[in-house]
């Protein structure tokens, strides 16, 4: 069968300024709303969010049929979950707390087919979404689906070059909050401290050197712009619940402002 279409693929290059967000509420209504926004993709969060192995499948398909990629953040250390998410059509895997080249190599065995890894065959939803024949999907999915390792500890920073040299790692995704927790030994969540931003700049520079994608989380638009200026090509802006509560708060504040004090 010839290639017909490929739905929901993540398309990044070194000059991309890709804006994504974390989706933590596992409801298709949320995906339906977000696919119509300016966001380029979505990260369904199975680490800190409420998505699970049974709720990601329909959400991936809903995003993909709107031609927006769904990436999956897997739970810490659950590498088998990565294979399952790819089988359900995930465009990319984001794996938290990768601290060494050995961690990265183990992850890659689950996300790439031979000769790079040992992913087991069974792309139940991924195959129809890809529009490819089985053989073509087998041959092309290592390049069509991406593997991001989260750099979010002092240990990961010290092993960064070796991690970036692991074949099958397509890029990194920095978790600045956990990075701050680690660099301050559990004292601070200061994602914009000099210490964290210096580390973040080092990661962006190393990714450039190794020709790998560089992604990061940003709590707000100002942080996102700063990270793009530091050379990141992929920024996750906030998450679904934050967007909702910020919009509600700013709507209420605006009503009070426009009422000249008559609404309190």
Contact criterion met (CB below 8 Å) for 178 and 186: no
- Burial environment of residue 98 by CB neighbours within 10 A (0 to 12, 13 to 18, 19 or more): buried
How many positions of this chain bind ligand 3PY (CB under 6 A)?
A: 6
Smallest separation (angstroms) from Mg ion to the CB of 62: 26
Task: Report how far residue 76's alpha carbon sits from residue 168's, in angstroms, rounded to the nearest whole number.
Answer: 19
| C-beta of 89 vs 175, nearer to Mg ion | 175
Smallest separation (angstroms) from ligand 3PY to the CB of 152: 5
How many positions of this chain bind Mg ion (CB under 5 A)?
A: 3
| C-beta of 127 vs 160, nearer to Mg ion | 160
> Rule CB under 6 A: is residue 176 a binding residue for ligand 3PY?
yes
SS3 category, 4: coil
> Rule CB under 6 A: is residue 177 a binding residue for ligand 3PY?
yes
Q: Residue 168 binds which one of ligand 3PY, Mg ion, none, with CB within 5 to 8 A depending on kind?
A: none
> Rule CB under 6 A: is residue 26 a binding residue for ligand 3PY?
no
Task: Report how far residue 264's alpha carbon sits from residue 259's, in angstroms, rounded to the nearest whole number.
Answer: 9
Active site residue 18: no
Subset of 149-208 contacting Mg ion (CB under 5 A): 152, 175, 178
Single residue of 152, 206, 215, 240 touching ligand 3PY by CB under 6 A: 152
Task: Report how far residue 183's alpha carbon sits from residue 155's, in angstroms, rounded to the nearest whole number.
Answer: 10
The four Cα atoms 248, 254, 255, 261 give a dihedral, to 10 degrees, of 130
| C-beta of 9 vs 219, nearer to ligand 3PY | 219
Q: Which one of 5, 48, 210, 227 is the catalytic residue? A: 48
The residue range among 9-17, 112-120, 171-179, 255-263 that interacts with ligand 3PY, by the rule CB under 6 A, is 171-179
> Rule CB under 6 A: is residue 217 a binding residue for ligand 3PY?
yes
Contact criterion met (CB below 8 Å) for 256 and 250: no
Phi, psi (deg, nearest 5) at residue 73: -90, 120
Task: Report how far residue 220's alpha carbon sits from residue 243's, in angstroms, rounded to the nearest whole number.
Answer: 10
Contact criterion met (CB below 8 Å) for 170 and 141: no
CB neighbours (10 Å) of residue 144? 18
CB neighbours (10 Å) of residue 138? 16
The residue range among 61-69, 159-167, 170-178, 192-200 that interacts with ligand 3PY, by the rule CB under 6 A, is 170-178
Smallest separation (angstroms) from ligand 3PY to the CB of 172: 12
Task: Write out the residues near Mg ion by the rule CB under 5 A.
Answer: 152, 175, 178
Task: Write out the residues near ligand 3PY by the rule CB under 6 A.
Answer: 152, 175-178, 217
Catalytic residues: 48
């Amino acid at each position: 069968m010839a290639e017909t279409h490929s739905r929901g693929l993540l398309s990044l290059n070194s000059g991309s300024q890709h804006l994504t967000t974390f989706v933590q509420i596992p409801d298709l209504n949320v995906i339906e709303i977000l696919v119509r926004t300016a966001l380029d993709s979505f990260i369904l969060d199975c680490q800190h969010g409420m998505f699970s192995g049974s709720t990601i499948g329909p959400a991936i398909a809903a995003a993909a049929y709107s031609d927006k990629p769904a990436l999956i953040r897997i739970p810490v250390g659950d590498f088998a979950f990565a294979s399952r998410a790819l089988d359900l059509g995930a465009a990319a895997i984001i794996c938290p707390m990768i601290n060494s080249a050995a961690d990265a190599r183990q992850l890659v065995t689950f996300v790439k087919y031979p000769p790079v890894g040992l992913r087991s065959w069974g792309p139940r939803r991924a195959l129809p979404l890809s529009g490819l024949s089985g053989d073509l999907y087998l041959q092309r999915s290592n390049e069509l689906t991406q593997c991001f390792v989260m750099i979010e500890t002092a240990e990961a920073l010290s092993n960064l070059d070796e991690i970036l040299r692991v074949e099958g790692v397509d890029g990194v995704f920095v978790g600045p909050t956990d990075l701050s927790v680690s660099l301050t030994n559990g004292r601070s969540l200061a994602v914009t401290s000099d210490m964290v931003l210096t580390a973040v700049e080092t990661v962006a520079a190393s990714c450039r050197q190794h020709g790998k994608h560089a992604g990061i989380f940003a709590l707000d638009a100002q942080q996102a712009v700063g990270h793009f200026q530091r050379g990141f090509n992929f920024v996750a802006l906030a998450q679904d619940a934050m967007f909702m509560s910020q919009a509600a708060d700013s709507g209420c504040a605006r009503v009070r402002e426009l009422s000249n004090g008559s609404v309190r």
